[in-house]
Chains A and B, each alone.
Chain A
Amino acid sequence: MITVEQITYLYPHSDTPIFQDFSAHFKRGEIVAVSGKNGSGKTTLSKLLAGILQPQKGSVCIDGLSTKSQDLFEIGQKVGYLFQNPNRQLFCETVFREITFGLNNQGLKKQQATEKADYYLNYFNLASYRDDYPGHLSHGEKQRLALAAVLALGTDYVVLDEPTIGLDMLRRRELGELLLKLCKESNCGIVLICQEAEFMARYAERELVIPV
């Protein structure tokens, strides 16, 4: 379980806190939608969950371990994180390497990593771009690639910051089905930041609305 306990967070050089004494929890095997107005702090919350930001007060714990006491790569073994902007998380030379990057870091054998990467490339319809430079993909394709790279890791939790942005109707449904499958079969805990009522109603079990 990821627990957020009584956190207060404000950005450096700003004086209005985004969160004040805010608490929440996210269980495994559950899809929780997080919504709220623009600028309400959804991205900030997700970065706090992944340990990219640290609260000034209170704590964020992943399975009982505080994010403060862990390195990002250790958190990455338990939590997969999708940035809101796909450009900020693609950094390899080819689409294929983008997916195997994390798998290799997990210590997977080359054969296994290749198989897994190809499975996700096919699932997200990216197989024809296998050896292309990720920077040249369209926005929706980049978003799918970033999703593939995060979901291929098979972590216990995934935090997705607006994953449906830029996906067409068909791809949106496919993403939703994959999330359901991950949740049911791998008992994965999914935090889904989302603005679309329809998508949330269809796939999320619970909705957390962040007040402004």
Chain B
Amino acid sequence: MNLQMVDPRIKILLLLTISSAALIFPHPFSLAALLVLALFILMAGGLKPVQVWVKARGLCGLILMLFLIQCLFNRAGEPLLWLFNMPIVTDFGLNTALLVSLRLLIIVLSAMIVLFGESRDYLLALTQCKVPYEIAFMVLAALRFLPILREEAQDVICAAQLRGLRIKKTGLFHKLKVYISLMLPVVAGAIHRAEQLSFAMEARAFRANSHRSSMRRLRLRVVDVFYALVILMAVIAIAFIPLLTIN
């Protein structure tokens, strides 16, 4: 079902269900099935595989690194792979590595569900779920702020490099130190700007009327409810997959 058309409340519900299921489910099989489900929702929702890849690409390195770290440094359990009589990979290590990376991947994919649709719709969805308008507005404003913050951080890093700072080809520890010291002014600037933004908003009469009405109201359609039910059932079914394999 095209995700653009799905009620935003349903999308938020799906995001919450799938990502919490990803944290709760203890077995790699059910997580793998959940991953397939999340991918299926996105594809059926109108996202092309290439687009998913482009959006998730940046995280793949991180996930791979987490996987390797868990794999190599988790010493509990039966060894599976030896190198000169030294066990390097254990079954327990491999299991946790799989769990961690699958969970992260599922959470990222399920977050993509809410990328469909306009932020105004989510504002409506949140207020109709009795979230106070101020809070709903601020959550969305904060989210829109993130790309700007990233751009700013990139500019600061470029400026430092153009004044002779070497970041590439240095140790990991040094890199981390440099990034932290460069991020401080960005964060300080963001806090300062948030304060100014609040003045600017009040100057344009934000909160002047205690009750804010909107012309449009979201209505749940039967299809939306049906769609949500089907996916919830799929998630519950996935929870039982490990039981099948044990028997």
Residues of A within 8 A of B (CB): 50, 52, 71-73, 75-77, 79-81, 83, 85, 87-91, 101-102, 105-106, 135, 149-150, 153
Which chain A residues lie closer than 8 Å to B160 at the CB level? 91, 101
Assess whether B185 is in contact with A83, with CB atoms less than 8 Å apart.
no
CA distance A153 to B66 in the complex (A): 41
Report whether B163 and A71 are in contact in the complex, using a CB–CB cutoff of 8 Å.
no
Given A135-B188, A135-B192, also A88-B159 (CB < 8 A): yes
18 contacts between A and B (CB under 8 A): A50-B158, A52-B162, A72-B161, A73-B162, A76-B161, A76-B163, A81-B159, A83-B155, A83-B159, A88-B152, A89-B156, A91-B159, A91-B160, A101-B160, A105-B165, A149-B163, A150-B163, A153-B164
Chain A residues, Cβ within 8 Å of B159: 81, 83, 88-89, 91
> When the two chains form their complex, are residues B185 and A135 in contact, meaning their CB atoms are under 8 A apart?
yes
Q: How far is the CA of A89 from the CA of B157 in the complex (A)?
A: 8
- Chain B: number of interface residues, binned into ranges: 20 to 34
Chain A residues near B165 (CB-CB < 8 A) = 73, 101, 105
CB pair B162 A88 closer than 8 Å: no
Smallest CB separation, A62 vs chain B (Å): 12
- Where chain B touches its partner, the secondary structure class is helix
- Contact between A102 and B156 (Cβ–Cβ < 8 Å)? no
Question: Once the chains are docked, how many angstroms separate the CA of A148 from the CA of B181?
Answer: 21
Contact between A88 and B155, CB atoms less than 8 A apart:
yes
A105 near B162: Cβ-Cβ < 8 Å:
no
Residues from chain A with a CB closer than 8 A to the CB of B94 are: none
Q: Does B166 contact A (CB under 8 A)?
A: yes
